[in-house]
Amino acid sequence: MAAFDLDDTKGAQLESELGERYHHHKVDVSQLDRVETAVVAVEANHGPVRIVVNAAAVPAPAKLLSSRGPISMEVFDKGIKVNLYGPIHVMRSVVAGMAASDPNEDGERGVIINVASGAAYEGQVGQVAYSASKGALVSMTMPLFRELAIHGIRVMTVAPGAFDTPIYDHVPPALKEQLAAQCLFPKRMGRPEEFGLLIEEIVRNPMHNGRTIRLDAGMILGPS
């Protein structure tokens, strides 16, 4: 498995934990040239990419109008560049190799999974950039899977609710409790491995195609 992430410390940790199964590449997914170079290296080592999970993202919190004035376009751009351009950069870099690869007995060549968010549907105050980027991933699912079906490539999107990952490392425990309370059942945040189970199911089961699956214990967030 090859992972593109900015975080070298986490990458090294995972490499020592998983050994040969995991290769960290320090890549800023918002930079097309960095993604292209890394994909060429991955293809040279492992052959065409068959499974893509686009999960790198930043929260880019910002209100259209805050006490500091109108939204910073730097923050907005960063949210869109990482969360929306990032997946596009990865998809455009792998798709030619995937489409040219040998299909399995079902004609399938690969699967692309984009990670959106419940914020694509019920964005909260301060999520202008984040919701815009995640909503775009949900909307792109339809044209992408329709286009790529002819190549035997599936496209799915997953929209998680609240999962207890490092994204919440610096968030006060009270806020995490508040989020957990908004899950209908189970009344807790999701565990990373429960997210992984859905990714595995989508990869293994070829009948998953062209949809966005919400994974959120029935949580519907309020305005803020």
Ligand X SMILES: NC(=O)c1ccc[n+]([C@@H]2O[C@H](COP(=O)([O-])OP(=O)(O)OC[C@H]3O[C@@H](n4cnc5c(N)ncnc54)[C@H](O)[C@@H]3O)[C@@H](O)[C@H]2O)c1
Query: Using the 8-state DSSP alphabet, how is residue 151 labeled?
Result: G
Q: Does 28 bind ligand X (CB under 6 A)?
A: yes
The smaller minimum CB distance to ligand X, of residues 81 and 109, is found at: 81
- Work out how close the CB of 181 gets to ligand X at its nearest, in angstroms, rounded to a whole number: 15
Q: Does 6 bind ligand X (CB under 6 A)?
A: yes
Q: Does 166 bind ligand X (CB under 6 A)?
A: yes
The smaller minimum CB distance to ligand X, of residues 85 and 145, is found at: 85
Total binding residues for ligand X by CB under 6 A?
22
Residues 6 or more apart whose Cβ sits within 8 Å of residue 179: 162, 189, 219
In whole angstroms, give the CA distance from residue 78 to residue 85.
10
Among 72, 124, 165, 212, binds ligand X (CB under 6 A): 165
The runs of H, that is alpha helices, within 51-209 are 73-80, 86-99, 128-148, 173-181, 192-204
Q: Does 93 bind ligand X (CB under 6 A)?
A: no
Which residue stretch of 55-63, 97-105, 141-149, 201-209 sits at the interface with ligand X (rule: CB under 6 A)?
55-63
- Work out how close the CB of 66 gets to ligand X at its nearest, in angstroms, rounded to a whole number: 22
Among 22, 85, 130, 168, the active-site one is 130
The smaller minimum CB distance to ligand X, of residues 69 and 166, is found at: 166
| C-alpha distances in Å from residue 51, one per residue of 9, 48, 87 | 24, 9, 13
Residue pair 152/92 in contact by the 8 Å Cβ criterion: no
Nearest Cα residue to 54 out of 22, 29, 36, 31 = 29
The smaller minimum CB distance to ligand X, of residues 149 and 180, is found at: 180
In whole angstroms, give the CA distance from residue 35 to residue 54.
12
Residues 107 to 136 in contact with ligand X, rule: CB under 6 A? 115, 117
In whole angstroms, give the CA distance from residue 210 to residue 70.
37
- The helix (run of H) or strand (run of E) holding residue 157 is strand 153-160
Catalytic residue at 130?
A: yes
Catalytic residues: 130
**Residues binding ligand X (CB under 6 A):** 4-7, 10, 27-30, 55-58, 82, 115, 117, 160, 162-163, 165-167
